[in-house]
Amino acid sequence: MRKSRSVFRCTECGAEQPKWAGRCDGCGAWNTLVEEAVGRTGGRAVRQALQTSGSPPVRLSALTSGALPRWRTGLAEFDFVLGGGIVPGSVVLVGGEPGIGKSTLLLQCAARLEAAGVPTLYVSGEESPEQVRLRATRLTEDAGAVHVLGETRLEAIVHHAAALGARVVFVDSIQTTYTEALEGAPGNVGQVRDCAARLMRFAKEAGPAVFLVGHVTKGGGIAGPRTLEHIVDTVLYFEGEATLDHRILRAVKNRFGSVDEIGVFRMTGAGLEPVPDPAAAFLAGRHTGVSGSAVTALMEGTRPVLVEVQALASKAGFGTPQRVATGLDHRRLAVLLAVLERRGGLSFEALDVFVNVTGGVRLAEPSTDLAVLAALVSSVRDRPVPADAVFLGEVGLGGEIRPVAALERRLAEAARQGFRRVFCSARARGAPEGLELVGMEGIGDLARRLAA
């Protein structure tokens, strides 16, 4: 096969250079040049695209408002995160650390789609078909009908997917896939980007949905190709703690659904199982009556989820006291500690402080501030907060407690899970039946209320 010409493009400024160099001539940035295919292949593809996308412009009003067709896997949490199932022609990147369960999840999906009459192709570049078969024997689903292809050449993958008439193609992983059009080794940024772009074109022209598995590096980005996030339609991250069996599938980008939705699974001996009541899953195993623990309700996409914040303040040894936060930004913890010292009159000067959010959940919204403060106050005083209380509020630098967004849904969930009291801003309104709002102006009120 004839090799197409390639150029090197700077990922910073977009400048094009015929040869690789350590430094970009355009902007002077180092190590930003990435190989890219042009010339024959590119030109033909563009001409083809022009011919096939021959539909003329239309008025928005002339478009039918019919819902997008979707294929459901029946794995409820998976379909939910995608926005109601798999959209034909869409490209979905599934990122996650090695061993978290990406291959398992996608093999289960393939098996379920086959059972529903949707032809699939599972391309495994990392494991042999025999290894995939071994995994399949563990699953609840019968994956016998799934076509498996042990292949890493992109051209061959596209050929077989087209020949098979697969409607959903799983590429495990994008980092092991390479195209003959480029010289670089599989996994380098140029290869990953080009392979993804070609699979994208295949999906848009031939109509199958394509799932790309991407490994996440320790730094958190999908190795090298963060740039893929811009190309694909949907980006899902599969995360969890290695020691816990909960797994969270999170949509960080979704052209066909809401972003930030999560699906919760449990890793069992027979594959991944959707958790039936995700909102309550993270409170399972909570010990009540222990100091340093407070419950809050966060919004994960459109869903409220109740989680427990734990704090432990203990006498510090030598040197600077420690501040360790898991599931919470350490700078946010520093701010909250400073507010508590200055406005709440509690001293942490001689204390090591540890804050932890259970279940591997991250507190990304300020509405959880109040729960962190309540857990800290409770730990310092070694006095549990009321077991039936939920804490909802953002805390300002002046120690003032502000109301939170989506209050109604959070309150409804707290009431449904049997909580009776919500500590919140004095301005909060609209408690459902059976739930009492304990309104507070500032954290001085909080300290007093918790001492009462």
CB of 272 to Mg ion, least distance (A): 13
Query: By C-alpha distance, which of 79, 75, 81, 76 is closest to 140?
Result: 75
With CB under 6 A as the contact rule, the residue among 57, 219, 269, 418 that binds ligand TYD is 269
Which of 28, 43, 98, 430 is close enough to bind ligand TYD by CB under 6 A? 98
**Piece in contact with ligand TYD (CB under 6 A), picked from 180-188, 265-273, 275-283, 345-353:** 265-273
CB-wise, 35 or 239, nearer to ligand TYD? Answer: 239
User: From CA 392, how far away is CA 399, in angstroms rounded?
Assistant: 14
Site size toward ligand TYD, by CB under 6 A: 14
Cα angle value 208/211/214 (rounded, 5°): 155
Q: Which is nearer to Mg ion, 249 or 328 (CB)?
A: 249
CA distance 192 to 152: 12
Q: Please identify which residue in 85, 95, 101, 292 interacts with ligand TYD, judged by CB under 6 A.
A: 101
CB 120 within 8 A of CB 113: yes
- Which residue's CB is nearer to Mg ion, number 107 or number 196? 107
Among residues 6, 32, 90, 103, the one that binds Mg ion under rule CB under 5 A:
103
239 forms beta bridges with 248
**Strand, helix or coil for residue 82:** helix
Sheet of strand 271-274: strand arrangement: 147-149, 120-124, 168-172, 209-215, 91-96, 234-239, 246-254, 262-268, 271-274
Q: What binding mask, one character per residue, do residues 49-78 give for Mg ion by CB under 5 A, x or -?
A: ------------------------------
Q: What does 96 bind: ligand TYD, Mg ion, none (CB cut-off 5 to 8 Å by kind)?
A: ligand TYD
Which stretches within 185-281 are classed as H helix?
A: 189-206, 228-231, 278-281
Interaction partner, residue 100 (ligand TYD, Mg ion, none; CB < 5-8 Å by kind): ligand TYD
Range 175-211 burial, b when 16+ CB lie within 10 A, else e: bbbbbebbebebbbbbbbbbbbbbbbebbbebebbbb
Does residue 271 bind ligand TYD (CB under 6 A)? yes
Place of tokens 């909080």: 446
44 binds ligand TYD (CB under 6 A): no
Q: State phi, psi for 93 to the nearest 5 degrees.
A: -95, 125
Q: Closest distance between Mg ion and the C-beta of residue 423, in Å? A: 44
Distances (CA, A) of 400 to 88, 371, 393: 49, 14, 10
End-to-end CA distance of the chain: 80
Minimum distance of ligand TYD from residue 387's CB (angstroms): 34
- Which is closer to ligand TYD, CB of 16 or CB of 142? 142
Q: Which is nearer to ligand TYD, 103 or 188 (CB)?
A: 103
Which CB sits closer to ligand TYD, 234 or 296?
234
CB of 237 to ligand TYD, least distance (A): 11
Residues that bind Mg ion (CB under 5 A): 103
Residues that bind ligand TYD (CB under 6 A): 96, 98-104, 135, 138, 267, 269-271
